[in-house]
């Protein structure tokens, strides 16, 4: 609850700041234009705009989680403008970071940048993209991410084509039989990459797919059968001593009576 409140509060603040400045350019275009503009106030305006865009995108694609895939450009815009703040000077030769950073206890620019990068890092978004020579993420998905998205698409397409609506929450035999190989391929590939890991987009996708497969479609019923065999066997062996002692007691009692 507290985390949600902080995110919404921060996004509201950023949106308020961004609306206070007129602008006719997008985040990435603004950063490029500012290379030739030495006005630090322009940088502050740009940072407010790109931060607001990223925050809106992050909340918009919170469920299902698609933060990494759909917000990467906005994240790069935030990093670009923040880099300009750290490195560019105004027309008087004064560094913009001296005018905009660490001047008061609020430290709004730093807090905004830390929020953006912190959310990106918690989602481990870099694991889904190719990186440049400096280790920064590009907009290109890496091979393993492309592969698992393809396998997921095969699985979902099969489910949509063969799912019988007459089995809303029960075992759907046709889907389970026809789509099993696609699901196994998807699940096996995901497990094989656990050491390297995936971004949160893929983790959330797999959690949803597994829940759909086992709970909604009921395709894991075959796994439950060995559990019942084990439980019945355990119950039988647990009752054997009781049966033995009861038989012995009856035998001794009948012998005493005779």
The CA distances from residue 32 to 27, 29, 36, 172, in Å, are 9, 5, 8, 54
The one-digit pLDDT tens for each residue of the chain (258 residues) are 444 444 445 555 454 444 444 443 444 444 333 444 357 889 999 999 999 999 999 999 999 999 999 999 999 999 999 999 999 877 777 888 888 887 788 889 999 999 999 999 999 999 999 999 888 889 999 999 999 999 999 999 999 998 876 555 556 788 899 999 999 999 999 999 988 999 999 999 999 999 999 988 889 855 444 444 445 556 655 766 676 667 665 666 666 666
Judge residue 99's burial from the number of C-beta atoms within 10 Å of its C-beta, 0-12 exposed, 13-18 middle, 19 or more buried: middle
- Dist CA 148 CA 141 (whole Å): 11
Predicted structure pTM score: 0.69
Contacts (Cβ under 8 Å, ≥6 apart) of 111: 10
Task: Provide the pLDDT for residue 1.
Answer: 44
What tokens were used for 89? 């000077």
Four-residue CA torsion sign, 113, 64, 209, 150: negative
Helix or strand run (H / E) with residue 18: helix 2-19
- Dist CA 113 CA 14 (whole Å): 11
């Amino acid at each position: 609850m507290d985390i949600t409140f902080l995110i919404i509060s921060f996004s509201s603040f950023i949106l308020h700041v961004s609306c206070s400045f007129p602008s006719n350019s997008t985040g990435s275009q603004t950063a490029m234009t500012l290379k030739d503009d030495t006005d630090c106030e322009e940088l502050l305006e740009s940072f407010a705009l790109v931060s607001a865009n990223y925050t809106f995108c992050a909340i918009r694609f919170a469920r299902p989680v698609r933060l990494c895939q759909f917000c990467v450009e906005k994240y790069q815009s935030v990093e670009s403008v923040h880099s300009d703040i750290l490195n560019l000077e105004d027309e008087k030769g004064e560094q913009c970071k001296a005018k905009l950073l660490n001047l008061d206890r609020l430290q709004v620019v730093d807090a905004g940048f830390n929020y953006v990068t912190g959310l990106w890092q918690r989602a481990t978004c870099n694991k889904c993209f190719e990186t440049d020579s400096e280790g920064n993420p590009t907009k290109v998905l890496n091979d393993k991410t492309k592969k698992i998205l393809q396998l997921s698409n095969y699985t979902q397409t099969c489910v949509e084509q063969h799912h019988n609506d007459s089995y809303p929450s029960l075992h759907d035999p046709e889907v389970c039989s026809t789509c099993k190989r696609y699901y196994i391929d998807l699940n096996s590939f995901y497990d094989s990459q656990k050491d390297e890991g995936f971004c949160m987009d893929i983790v959330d996708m797999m959690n949803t797919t597994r829940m759909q497969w086992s709970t909604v479609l009921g395709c894991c019923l075959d796994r439950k059968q060995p559990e019942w065999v084990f439980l019945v066997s355990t119950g039988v062996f647990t009752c054997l001593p009781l049966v033995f002692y009861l038989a012995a007691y009856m035998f001794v009692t009948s012998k005493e009576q005779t």
